[in-house]
Amino acid sequence: MSRKKAAKGKAPNSSPSAGSPGGKGVGKAAWSSPSIVQMNGVVHPSRPSISSSSEFYDIAFKVMLVGDSGVGKTCLLVRFKDGAFLAGSFISTVGIDFRNKVLTIDGVKVKLQIWDTAGQERFRSVTHAYYRDAHALLLLYDVTNRSSFDNIQAWLTEIHEYAQQDVVLMLLGNKADATHNRVVKREDGEKLAKEFGVPFMETSARSGLNVELAFTAVAKELKHRSMKDSSEKFKLHEYVNKEMKGAGCCRT
């Protein structure tokens, strides 16, 4: 397997398929001409970056963060990417943004290109355009916000409408650290996830609870699927259940 180089902070590539989000409602990310092409569901760079901060990788996937505004999508991504929590005033994402991170999974360098979508309704059409190319979706609600949990069903309907049928999906109940403001029980999240057959865990961008695990689980599933190595059986549900730590604990 030849190893490629991951450009950090460069514009994401092929989505939506037109090559640009239409120039409408797009926020922080600078979109330019495609630098990655998609082959057999795995993303390969056609023009590797020479950026000094680049990291080599073997395979690449696109992961999208979705869910209501304020559930903590941006904070989760920043926690995963930089190991920090964005404290202070809430700055709602405009349009769509992205960050890259390379993980080593069983000796294979897996690049995740993580798209941080805007939860606000007015950007929904922008988000729709990106679903199609996503290999995995992390669907978030906020355990301190009931309506964000009640809206999960609507998000799932949208996902079924716009995303690939075989997209890897995981439900995350974020802000598990906020015990005093919690209004959604962990069991409620577990029940909903079971109903829809998706893996579930509670996370906290503030404490770091299960953040690394959520992205690693998705990367493992995508890597195993793309390698089609039948000698190695990987079950996302089983992996998540085995590795997951409760909200009372502190896995980072």
Site size toward Mg ion, by CB under 5 A: 3
d(CA 17, CA 31) in angstroms, rounded, equals 13
Residues 138-197 touching ligand GTP, rule: CB under 6 A, are 174-175, 177-178
| Interface with ligand GTP (CB under 6 A), residue from 14, 15, 49, 93 | 93
CB burial class (10 A; 0-12, 13-18, 19+) of residue 12?
buried
Query: Using CA atoms, how far apart are residues 246 and 180, in angstroms rounded to an integer?
Result: 16
- To ligand GTP, the closest distance from the beta carbon of 28 in angstroms equals 10
Whole-angstrom Cα distance, residue 167 to residue 127? 15
**Cα separation, 166 vs 203, whole angstroms:** 24
Cα separations (Å) of 69 from 65, 66, 139, 162?
11, 9, 12, 19
Contact pick of 13, 15, 93, 148 for Mg ion (by CB under 5 A): 93
Spacing of C-alpha 192 from chain mean position: 19
Taking CB within 5 to 8 Å according to partner kind, which of ligand GTP, Mg ion, none is near residue 33?
none
Q: Which of residues 104-133 bind ligand GTP (CB under 6 A)?
A: 118-120
Phi and psi angles of residue 134, each rounded to the nearest 5 degrees, phi first: -75, 135
Q: Which of 13, 14, 49, 74 binds Mg ion (CB under 5 A)?
A: 74
The correct pick among 15, 204, 210, 216 for binding ligand GTP (CB under 6 A) is: 204
Which tokens belong to 39?
């082959």
Q: Select the residue interacting with ligand GTP from 205, 218, 222, 244 (CB under 6 A).
A: 205
Q: Least CB distance from residue 59 to ligand GTP, whole Å? A: 27
Residues that bind ligand GTP (CB under 6 A): 69-75, 86-87, 90, 92-93, 118-120, 174-175, 177-178, 204-206
Q: Which residues bind Mg ion (CB under 5 A)?
A: 73-74, 93
